[in-house]
Amino acid sequence: DAGVIQSPRHEVTEMGQEVTLRCKPISGHDYLFWYRQTMMRGLELLIYFNNNVPIDDSGMPEDRFSAKMPNASFSTLKIQPSEPRDSAVYFCASSSRWSSYEQYFGPGTRLTVT
């Protein structure tokens, strides 16, 4: 298995632009998680899905952030409009129903908003 795939690996954009981050979870996994890593706050959970349904989005910082999972093999995290303080590394992770706590992370997307 290729593991969790994220694209792009790096994204540089100007303030006010829309940014879309993509994730393909491990095949057969039922859970998908989006995390953000910053120097100030470390790794924090933004939102997670179970069987493509958003379960908990309490970590999403603002209405500018939205996430979708249209099918079991694809999820997006969108920021519109983007701001410099959104600059961070965004990780996607997935896990199976049998051990939801053992999460497998993608390589991350490093977002820079200028």
Concatenating the DSSP letter of every residue in the chain gives: ----EEE-SEEEE-TT--EEEEEEPPTT--EEEEEEEETTTEEEEEEEEETTEEEE-TT--STTEEEEEEETTEEEEEESS--GGG-EEEEEEEE-GGGTTS-EE---EEEEE-
CB closer to other proteins out of 81 and 110:
110
Quote the least distance from Cβ 9 to other proteins, whole Å: 9
Quote the least distance from Cβ 16 to other proteins, whole Å: 28
Dmax (CA) for the chain in angstroms is 42
CB closer to other proteins out of 50 and 87:
50
CB closer to other proteins out of 59 and 81:
59
Interface positions with other proteins (CB under 8 A): 4, 31, 33, 35, 42-45, 48, 50, 55-56, 59, 91, 93, 100-108
Of 114, 112, 111, nearest to 21 by C-alpha is 111
Quote the least distance from Cβ 91 to other proteins, whole Å: 5
Quote the least distance from Cβ 78 to other proteins, whole Å: 19
CB closer to other proteins out of 18 and 93:
93
